[in-house]
Chains A and B, each alone.
Chain A
Amino acid sequence: MIGTGILKGMAVTARNFVGSYFEKDRLITVQYPEERTPLAENYRNFPFLIYDTDDAEAGLRCVACKICEKECPPQCIYIIKSEDKKPDYMGKPQFYPAVFDIDISVCMSCQICVEVCPFEAIKMDKVFELSRRERFDALLQRKRELSKSNTYYHSICPTEAAEVDAKLAEAAAKKKPTPPPAAGSAPAAEPTPAPVI
């Protein structure tokens, strides 16, 4: 019959309106600055760099291979490779990024940098309160701001972080017997689900 759809719709509206006075669940407005909706585990916003141990400089996983810089579609990553090598968190001498900038005023949260990184060095963050009154300096994130600890990664994405840790541990165990060349260690930690390596 004509009109029943409208009546049904009105009934839903009325139920929610009246119910909002009695049931807590029907009051859906999130009082934002005081109260927050829990973020989904796979929510993502901007990338950050992971470091192991407690030292943001020495523990940085990034080896400045510049793959992410090349792959980033809007070209918002800027890396300058170091001249010298420093031991990474596993004790192997590696290059490190002397400069690592991400222009978050351009970044489109596509996660491609995360997918291409062979060292599990860059992951997506969940911080979204980044409004600034200035665009150029305030929205350009430098290496210091980008570096966050593995513990932090565990706190925002527990499942994914545990998977990554397991993968890295497996890769480390595999290559223990033979002293690996610098380049050989990379494919073992690759995030693609290849069955055998």
Chain B
Amino acid sequence: MSEIDEGLRSELQRQGIWVTSMQELYNWGRKNSIWPLQFGLACCAIEMIATAASRYDIARFGGEVFRPSPRQADLMIVAGTVTKKMAPQVVRLYNQMPDPKYVISMGACAISGGPFKTGYNVLKGIDRYIPVDVYIPGCPPRPEALLHAFMELQRKIDSQKLTGSEKATHLDSTQPSEFPVPSFGAHDLEPPANPDVFQPPKIERT
């Protein structure tokens, strides 16, 4: 179902028969019709809008259909500063998206808090609450950088498996597709990070 021997495939191709597997067909369909959720949070969203406009034209990658409803979206582009006030809403929107769903964290703010990292009111990275597939550094990243991340996401989708122990998370019933929405505590969001999602490694300074 999922793997075809490369030699056999090229042999068949020489005979005029083009074979594909269920997995390839499924991944091909998914990776070329990624509909982003239409929402922007700060200045990075301007670059996201530029990516959708005619010069960079994200439609060339099948991602032009920006959906205003999370129920119809596949991809959440977290473009901009996630304030602590906004973070529960972002997680709630993510929870409302149907599987399979992906997240691109665009810009320094969405990855780590960026310029506001030392501030008190900005979430230090959306990956504290939801799993992120691709990170784009930059303040703001160029539209080309967003396209580059989009292609990186397509490569990731292309390499996902339908079966086996390494199958895509949305096909794995043991993996959660919704994550707890943080609430406003006395001083910070409660909890400050979801330990199931956010496991920062220890950085070796060498």
Binding site for B on A (CB under 8 A): 28-33, 36-37, 45-46, 73-76, 78, 80, 99, 101, 103-110, 128-140, 142
The one of A74, A99, A142 in contact with B117, judged by C-beta atoms closer than 8 angstroms, is A74
What are the interface flags for B84-116 relative to A under an 8 Å C-beta threshold, 1 for contact and 0 otherwise?
000000000000000000000100100111111
Looking across the interface, which residue of chain B has its beta carbon closest to that of A129?
A: B148
Contacts A76-B117, A106-B111 known; list 19 others, CB within 8 Å: A28-B54, A28-B55, A32-B60, A32-B144, A32-B147, A45-B138, A46-B138, A73-B118, A74-B118, A106-B113, A107-B108, A110-B115, A128-B142, A131-B136, A135-B105, A135-B125, A137-B201, A139-B137, A142-B206
In the complex, are the beta carbons of A99 and B144 less than 8 A apart?
no
* Dominant secondary structure of chain A at its interface with chain B: loop
CA distance A133 to B156 in the complex (A): 9
Binding site for A on B (CB under 8 A): 54-57, 60, 105, 108, 111-118, 125, 127, 132-139, 141-142, 144-145, 147-149, 151-152, 156, 200-201, 203, 205-206
In the complex, are the beta carbons of A128 and B117 less than 8 A apart?
no
Question: Would you mind naming 21 contact pairs between A and B with Cβ atoms under 8 Å apart?
Answer: A30-B55, A37-B144, A73-B115, A74-B113, A99-B206, A106-B108, A106-B113, A106-B114, A107-B137, A108-B139, A110-B115, A110-B139, A128-B141, A128-B148, A129-B148, A130-B138, A133-B135, A135-B132, A136-B200, A136-B203, A139-B111
In the complex, are the beta carbons of A132 and B117 less than 8 A apart?
no
Looking across the interface, which residue of chain A has its beta carbon closest to that of B133?
A: A133
CA distance A76 to B115 in the complex (A): 10
In the complex, are the beta carbons of B156 and A135 less than 8 A apart?
no
In the complex, are the beta carbons of A133 and B134 less than 8 A apart?
yes
Residues A75 and B144 in contact in the complex (CB < 8 Å), given A101-B205, A105-B108: no
Number of A-B contacts (CB under 8 A): 113
CA distance A139 to B132 in the complex (A): 14
In the complex, are the beta carbons of A135 and B135 less than 8 A apart?
yes
Residues A130 and B136 in contact in the complex (CB < 8 Å), given A36-B144, A75-B117, A106-B108: yes
Chain B residues, CB < 8 A from A103: 112
CA distance A16 to B22 in the complex (A): 43
CA distance A36 to B56 in the complex (A): 10
Looking across the interface, which residue of chain B has its beta carbon closest to that of A138?
A: B135
Looking across the interface, which residue of chain A has its beta carbon closest to that of B144?
A: A32
In the complex, are the beta carbons of B138 and A128 less than 8 A apart?
yes
Shortest CB-to-CB span from A129 to chain B, Å, is 5
Chain A residues, CB < 8 A from B54: 28-29
Shortest CB-to-CB span from B62 to chain A, Å, is 14
Residues A75 and B132 in contact in the complex (CB < 8 Å), given A108-B139, A130-B145: no
In the complex, are the beta carbons of B114 and A135 less than 8 A apart?
no
Which of B55, B139, B145 is most buried by chain A, counting CB atoms within 10 A of its CB?
B139
Chain B residues, CB < 8 A from A73: 115, 118
Shortest CB-to-CB span from A64 to chain B, Å, is 14
Shortest CB-to-CB span from A81 to chain B, Å, is 13
The one of B56, B136, B205 in contact with A99, judged by C-beta atoms closer than 8 angstroms, is B205
Residues A140 and B55 in contact in the complex (CB < 8 Å), given A33-B151, A128-B141: no
In the complex, are the beta carbons of A107 and B139 less than 8 A apart?
yes
In the complex, are the beta carbons of B55 and A105 less than 8 A apart?
no
